[in-house]
């Protein structure tokens, strides 16, 4: 049976949590190091920045922009910041894999979805792919996701759904469209990013936004968490023939 449902998962706040107490702020540290190497020392202020639902590339541009840098000066720094961030993340997670913990019901939900013949699983995340794999690997989840769209593929999250669709077609040979596409995440950006493609949105209140805040964005479904596997499965597999 060919799959007729593409389930695209966000990572941070949706599938797992990476404990902030494991390090103060790896992006802030990476940006500071990259700037010092370029002879531009100075503290990076992230106190007014809210990263929820943004891509890693977007985070770099917005944070440095808020710190007074022009885009033309940020662009050449991105590769160095990415490299330093990923090295820092890998060292922290490999040194303390327990800093990455699963959200409730995640393992059971992924197992059931992978076993379902109509479902194809993929990622739609703002993480750089290497960062995504580091985090997922700490909990043995990489095997569930053969493809995805990642933070280096697009600066805006709204550009990621089409990247994920293209990756799904290359992987499976099947072209998914409209309500066959289900984007699952924990922020308003996750809810809205696929609407221009007619995708459905399943929201979960395991990240920085409350159930009420997510409901106000009018997703197709919203859950406190993924503990009730049959209900979440039913939302993803909802009859879309009508």
pLDDT digits (tens, 9 = 90+) for 150-201: 999 888 899 999 999 999 999 999 999 999 999 999 999 999 999 999 999 9
Residue 114 has pLDDT above 70, yes or no: yes
Residue 99 has pLDDT above 80, yes or no: yes
Q: Taking the complete model, does pTM exceed 0.85, yes or no?
A: yes
CATH 1.10.150 region(s) of the chain? 20-97
Question: Cα–Cα distance between 79 and 84 in angstroms, integer?
Answer: 9
3-class DSSP state of 149? strand
Find the mean pLDDT for residues 228-235. 98
**In this predicted model, what pLDDT tens digit does every residue of 82-95 receive, in sequence order?**
999 999 899 989 99
The CA-to-CA distance between both ends of the chain, in Å, stands at: 21
Residue 22 has pLDDT above 60, yes or no: no
Q: Secondary structure of the chain: what % helix, strand, coil (to 5)?
A: 50, 15, 40
The kind and range of the H/E element at 221 are strand 221-223
At 71, is the pLDDT very low, low, confident or very high (cuts 50, 70, 90)?
A: very high
Q: Are 13 and 186 in contact (CB under 8 A)?
A: yes
Burial class of residue 214, CB neighbours in 10 A (0-12, 13-18, 19+): buried
- Confidence (pLDDT) at 224: 98
Burial class of residue 108, CB neighbours in 10 A (0-12, 13-18, 19+): middle
State whether CATH 1.10.150 applies to domain 20-97: yes
φ, ψ of residue 172 to 5 degrees: the values are: -110, -20
- Confidence (pLDDT) at 226: 98
Sign for the CA dihedral angle at 45, 48, 54, 58 comes to negative
97 vs 193: which has the higher pLDDT: 193
What is the longest distance spanned by two Cα atoms in the chain?
A: 61
State whether CATH 3.40.50.1000 applies to domain 5-18+102-236: yes
Helices marked H in 38-105 — which ranges? 56-66, 71-74, 78-95
- Confidence (pLDDT) at 24: 67
- The rounded percent of the chain whose pLDDT value lies above 90 is 79
């Amino acid at each position: 049976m060919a799959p007729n449902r593409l389930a695209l998962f966000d990572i941070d706040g949706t599938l797992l949590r990476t404990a902030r107490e494991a390090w103060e702020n790896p992006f802030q540290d990476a940006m500071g190091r990259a700037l010092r190497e370029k002879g531009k020392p100075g503290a990076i202020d992230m106190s007014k920045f809210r990263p929820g639902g943004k891509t890693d590339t977007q985070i770099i541009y917005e944070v440095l922009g808020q710190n007074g840098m022009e885009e033309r000066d940020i662009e050449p720094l991105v590769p160095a910041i990415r490299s330093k961030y990923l090295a820092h993340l890998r060292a922290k997670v490999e040194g303390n894999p327990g800093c990455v913990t699963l959200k409730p019901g995640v393992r059971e939900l992924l197992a059931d979805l992978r076993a379902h013949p109509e479902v194809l699983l993929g990622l739609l995340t703002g993480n750089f792919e290497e960062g995504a794999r580091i985090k997922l690997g700490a909990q043995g989840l990489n095997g569930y996701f053969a493809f995805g769209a990642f933070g280096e593929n697009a600066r805006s999250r709204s550009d990621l759904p089409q990247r994920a669709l293209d990756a799904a077609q290359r992987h499976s040979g099947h072209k998914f469209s409209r309500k066959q596409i289900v984007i699952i995440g924990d922020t308003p950006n996750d809810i809205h990013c696929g609407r221009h493609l007619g995708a459905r949105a399943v929201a979960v209140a395991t990240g920085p936004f409350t159930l009420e805040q997510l409901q106000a964005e009018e997703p197709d479904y919203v859950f406190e968490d993924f503990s009730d596997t049959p209900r979440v499965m039913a939302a993803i597999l909802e009859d879309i023939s009508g």
